[in-house]
């Protein structure tokens, strides 16, 4: 079964710093990839997703992610974070028609 | 966009009682629905996958007699936590996969507190 690894448990940045959160998955076939955000006390929201095509995916709120098939990676990036980006970020993977598996999550704290 | 609702959003129950949580896909049909559990400050863990009209498939370590799942229609799945104990206190999140697009949409979650 596929699994998802997020390398950073807790990331602390100052406002305007650049962000990159790592995500690797273990599955040899075709996969769909997702990044979700969970703000404190709120439910999951989809940031972006990759199904096929351009491996550089742009999402909401200035986030983007790049799918590198050879590295089994789907890292999330943002050039300049804001205090309001403080949240938990989850990478998720599913093979078509299969269930979605989540990484352990990365807590992002942005200091004003 | 596709909307998934859960009811109730928050429930407190006494130890030993049962609690039913509903998950509905409001504007699309979902042949498959998923139930996840999220402990505080942790990730979502898949509990079970339910297909309309058939028995749910439970993940390893999840007690199927304790977490009863029913997926009676293409828009409704229910999770019943039977004989709840304090350790069952958690955030339960359902997800529904569109029968047409196969995209998966998440509900807002139900916070269960067992006293």
Tokens of B88: 């069952």
- Give the least confident one: A25-29, A64-68, B23-27: A25-29
Task: Give start and end residues of each alpha helix (H) in chain B.
Answer: none
Q: What is the mean pLDDT of residues B106-115?
A: 94
Q: Is the pLDDT of residue B75 over 90?
A: yes
DSSP result, A89-109: EEEEEE-TTS--EE---EEEE
Q: What is chain A's mean pLDDT, rounded? A: 92
Contact B44 A103 (CB under 8 A): no
Contact B41 A100 (CB under 8 A): no
Mark A32-70 as b/e (b = at least 16 C-beta within 10 Å).
bbbbbbbeeeebbebbbbbeeeeeebebeeebbbbbeee
Q: What is the predicted pLDDT for the residue at B54? A: 85
Q: What is the mean pLDDT of residues B30-42?
A: 89
Q: Considering only CB atoms, which chain B residues are within 8 Å of A36?
A: 106
Among the partner-chain residues A88, A100, A103, the one whose CB lies closest to the CB of B104 is A100
Tell me which of B61 and A1 has the higher pLDDT: B61
Contact between residue B43 and residue B51 where contact means Cβ atoms under 8 Å apart: no
Q: Among candidates B24, B2, B35, B102, which has minimal Cα distance to A46?
A: B2
Contact A104 B43 (CB under 8 A): yes
| pLDDT digit string, tens, across residues A57-108 | 999 999 999 999 999 999 999 999 999 999 999 999 987 667 788 999 999 9
Percentage of chain B modeled with pLDDT above 90:
74
Q: What is chain B's mean pLDDT, rounded? A: 92
- Give the least confident one: A4-13, A56-65, B98-107: B98-107
Contact between residue B7 and residue B75 where contact means Cβ atoms under 8 Å apart: no
Q: Among candidates A79, A91, A57, which has minimal Cα distance to A13?
A: A79
- The pLDDT-based confidence of B95 (bands split at 50, 70, 90) is very high
Contact A102 B44 (CB under 8 A): yes
The answer to whether the bond into A104 is cis (omega within 30° of 0) is no
Contact between residue B41 and residue A107 where contact means Cβ atoms under 8 Å apart: yes
Q: Considering only CB atoms, which chain A residues are within 8 Å of B36?
A: 102
Q: Among candidates B79, B63, B38, B101, which has minimal Cα distance to A92?
A: B38
């Amino acid at each position: 079964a596929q699994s998802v690894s997020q390398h950073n448990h807790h990331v602390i940045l100052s406002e305007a710093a650049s962000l990159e959160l790592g995500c690797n998955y273990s599955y040899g076939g075709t996969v769909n990839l997702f990044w979700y955000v969970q703000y404190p006390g709120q439910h999951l929201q989809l940031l972006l997703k990759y199904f096929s095509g351009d491996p550089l995916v742009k999402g909401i709120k200035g986030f983007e992610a790049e799918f590198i098939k050879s590295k089994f990676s789907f890292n999330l990036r943002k050039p300049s974070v804001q205090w309001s980006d403080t949240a938990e970020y989850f990478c998720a993977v599913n093979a078509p028609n299969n269930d979605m598996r989540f990484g352990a999550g990365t807590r992002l704290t942005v200091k004003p | 966009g596709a909307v998934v609702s859960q009811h109730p959003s928050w429930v407190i129950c006494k130890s030993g009682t049962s609690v039913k949580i509903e998950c509905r896909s409001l504007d699309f049909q979902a042949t498959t629905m998923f139930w996840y559990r999220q402990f505080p400050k942790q990730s979502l863990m898949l509990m079970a996958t339910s297909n309309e009209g058939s028995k749910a498939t439970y993940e390893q370590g999840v007690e199927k007699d304790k977490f009863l799942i029913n997926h009676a229609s293409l828009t409704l799945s229910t999770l019943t936590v039977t004989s709840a104990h304090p350790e069952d206190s958690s955030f339960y999140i359902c997800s529904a996969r569109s029968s047409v697009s196969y995209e998966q949409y998440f509900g807002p979650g139900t916070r269960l507190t067992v006293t």
